[in-house]
A and B are shown apart, each in its own frame.
Chain A
């Protein structure tokens, strides 16, 4: 710039003026006065230093795009009001245009300048002719408002004026920006305070001397004071409830500060301002204070008292549930349940309920089939530990109660005499017994209530816990199960015994059929054998008898020609005769078998029959005979000839066995259905291994036996409907028993 010396001098003067005003204004800025005041004084300072100047500050409302009145101590009030909320635009006087453009707008004559076209009347009316406007810019270059210098005469600014404009606008910008920053800082502090005070946990900071550097509302509440009271005060002055607690907390704080390590305290007791013990979970973190660089600690403490208490409650409730569960399990596993003994299980269940809940009285009741009467199967009183039973209740007397049982899993009456479901019992039962609460659970089978288990609490009303109700209902279910088991057992027993009976009958029938079959088979075998033997015998008999007859004839003739006195010849002829007769006897015997003669039953004197039989027995000599009949005489119904043959046969066998020495006995008696004749001897008896064979045809132990005697005898008796058996010997000899059925006389 080609500035001359005068100019330089002028400049210096100017600079001095500007600098003087600037210094003055900076002093203003450093004061803590409110922004409006500062701006007003700034404008005043400019007007002081620049005569004839009317200063004005407008502030931009950026959102609305309008300029608002800021400070204009010398401008007429009416003008200021009119200019307030002046829009920003390309042609809105000096200030509106300057704010729009962001650069200085100098209008030397308002009357002629087109920028003022719309506003010149207003300005001229207030005797204003020139207006130079400098935009107030933030550090970032944003328009904050305008600083304007008005004059009452048209005027062009010199360099000094421009400098004033710029310095003033810059200082106003600083003032506005300071103010804005301060406001923001304040708002943020307030927000922060709000936030930490809103946090329900205790937030605090303490220095190494235990003084509160910071504390939120939760801390203040806990100590029964205010945040402002707390800050700056040592912990010990505030926390007076329990010195031990305070020293422990301070020791922790100090440890965090000195170690520089954070610390988590899962649980610590804390006595609050009201003397209540709370439990805190705290986290303490070391930090260094920003200004002093001193070490301190920050902490957050959460009150866990409620959740701790809830956990404790949950735990004790869980323990209670587990206890009830184990009681239930014991019941479920009990023999009384398994064996279907309802009465025994009722007693057990009543005791278990009374002891577990606990309640004074527990009753197990069962409906009759018609569900009209409920009978007490077991009432257990806990104090005397006494069981009783037998009380009855009529369904119709307690309709509301039974309706309630039908509806739910339990009837839980906390206040039984006044509970709608149980009040029917109030006067007759509950009050006399002093029962305050009832917990009743129905026994159900196939959806029907068949009984109920009643837990009666003697004393005042009592609140039933969920697990109490659940327990009572479960016991009721077990009782129902027990009833079911009784039914099932009964059915099973009936089924088993029916099945056993059936099997027994089947087995018996089978045995019978088998026995019959085997008897029939052996009969058949024997008869076939006997028949075959009979046929053979008959044929042999014929073949033998003819030669025997011829021999006999010849002997007869020879005897006629026997010379007198020839004894030898006579003897031989006698031998021929004897032997022919003996042979004929054997043939007779053989033939007897082949005959199937039906017996002709008639009554005969056994004594006579035995006598006849003895007549056929040759080997009787030396043998002692003994008969014993009961009654005597003894009438026997049989074919007397055939019976005689049997007896003769048996006596012959005995006589032969005894070989001339011994005792033969024939005894006879009657039993209900038969005449029994026993022939026994004192002979050697029949060896065990032969006992089964003696009745087999062709079996014999004799040198001259045919093996047909006993089979024939048995056959004869069987045709009589009787039997012949070999008895077990009592003493040595053989004992044969003849049984002949007794026929009722008509």
Chain B
């Protein structure tokens, strides 16, 4: 099994996973506008499938979704790709969930509505770190 290739150069590849369409498209536009290469998935299963096909620098993942939830999808993706940076987002600010996500290697846990400047900053940091 070959690991998907991470881009050595070019824009940071970001996967946005959210079952809410409006959330998904606005986020994608905002991130593209910020200069990221953005893909979207509307559920956990799709996100996992997409991560098997190509690699992302960062994944912005909603926690609560139909089917496999964000945490489970995150786990499955991390199993294939240890390097991917994941930012969890949720309408809840549940500390338990937050701790769990961080333990699994998430770099951030953001509460909705999102502080979008912070989101861009976090994704930028993740790619920056990678680029170092």
Contacts and interface: CB of A to CB of B under 8 A. Distances in A.
B112 A548 contact: yes
B91 A553 contact: no
A556 B92 contact: no
B120 to A, nearest CB: 10
A552 interface: yes
A20 B30 CA distance: 212
B8 interface: no
B113 A584 contact: yes
B131 interface: no
Contact of B93 (A548, A557, A591): A591
Contacts of B27: 553
Residue among B23, B91, B113 with the highest chain A CB neighbour number at 10 A: B113
Given A552-B114, A552-B116, A546 B23 contact: yes
Contacts, number: 58
Given A545-B112, A549-B113, A580-B113, A556 B23 contact: no
A549 B91 contact: yes
Given A542-B64, A545-B113, A548-B113, A553 B92 contact: no
Nearest to A592: B93
B37 to A, nearest CB: 18
B92 A552 contact: no
A541 interface: yes
Contacts of B116: 552-553, 556
B54 to A, nearest CB: 25
Chain B interface residue bracket vs A? 10 to 19
B102 to A, nearest CB: 18
B26 A553 contact: yes
B114 A549 contact: yes
B91 A541 contact: yes
A549 B110 CA distance: 11
A538 B92 CA distance: 8
Contacts of A541: 91-92
Contact of A550 (B23, B64, B92, B93): B23
Interface string B83-113: 0000000011101000000000000000111
A580 B115 CA distance: 12
B29 A557 contact: yes
Interface string B13-55: 0000000101100110110010000000000000000000000
A547 B114 CA distance: 11
B112 A549 contact: yes
A557 B26 contact: yes
Contacts of A584: 113
Name the residue in A544, A554, A580, A584 with the highest tally of chain B Cβ atoms < 10 Å from its Cβ.
A554
Given A541-B92, A546-B91, A557 B22 contact: no
Contacts of A575: none
B29 to A, nearest CB: 6
A543 B112 CA distance: 11
Nearest to A547: B22
A357 B92 CA distance: 106
A543 B90 CA distance: 11
A358 B95 CA distance: 104
Contacts of A580: 113
Contact of A545 (B22, B33, B91, B95): B91
Contacts of A591: 92-93
A149 to B, nearest CB: 183
Interface in A329-365: none
Residue from A556, A560, A584, A591 with most neighbouring chain B CB atoms (10 Å)? A556
A541 B64 CA distance: 13
Contact of B30 (A542, A551, A553): A553
Interface string A518-557: 0000000000000000000010011111111111111011
Contacts of A544: 91
Nearest to A597: B95
Contact of B113 (A542, A551, A557): A551
A580 B112 CA distance: 11
A553 B23 contact: yes
Contacts of B30: 553, 556-557, 560
A557 B26 CA distance: 7
Contacts of A548: 112-113
B112 A546 contact: yes
Contacts of A546: 20, 23, 91, 112
Contacts of B26: 550, 553-554, 556-557
B16 to A, nearest CB: 11
B92 A542 contact: yes
Interface string A243-265: 00000000000000000000000
Interface in B61-98: 64, 91-93, 95
Contacts of B111: 545
Identify the interface centre among A541, A553, A588: most chain B CB within 10 Å of its CB.
Answer: A553
A550 B116 CA distance: 11
A538 B95 CA distance: 14
A556 B26 CA distance: 9
A557 B119 CA distance: 14
Residue among A538, A545, A560 with max Cβ neighbours from chain B (10 Å): A545
B82 to A, nearest CB: 29
Contact of A557 (B23, B33, B95): B33
Nearest to B110: A549
A96 to B, nearest CB: 171
A545 B91 CA distance: 5
Contacts of A556: 26, 30, 116
B91 A542 contact: yes
A222 to B, nearest CB: 139
Contacts of A554: 22, 26
Contacts of A538: 92
B107 to A, nearest CB: 19
A560 B30 CA distance: 9
Nearest to A577: B113
Contacts of A542: 64, 91-92
Contacts of A557: 26, 29-30, 33
Nearest to A542: B91
Nearest to A560: B33
Nearest to B114: A549
A553 B34 CA distance: 13
A546 B112 CA distance: 7
Interface in A65-90: none
B94 to A, nearest CB: 8
B21 to A, nearest CB: 9
B95 to A, nearest CB: 8
A122 to B, nearest CB: 179
B22 to A, nearest CB: 4
B20 to A, nearest CB: 5
A163 to B, nearest CB: 184
Contacts of B64: 542
A549 B112 CA distance: 5
26 contacts: A538-B92, A541-B91, A541-B92, A542-B92, A545-B91, A545-B112, A546-B20, A546-B91, A547-B22, A548-B113, A550-B20, A550-B22, A550-B23, A550-B26, A551-B113, A552-B116, A553-B22, A553-B27, A553-B116, A554-B22, A556-B30, A557-B26, A557-B33, A560-B30, A584-B113, A597-B95
Given A546-B112, A550-B26, A552-B114, 14 more contacts: A546-B20, A548-B112, A548-B113, A549-B91, A549-B112, A549-B114, A552-B116, A553-B23, A553-B27, A556-B26, A556-B116, A560-B30, A591-B92, A597-B95
Which are the 7 A-B pairs with shortest beta-carbon distances? A553-B26, A545-B91, A549-B112, A552-B113, A550-B22, A549-B113, A542-B91
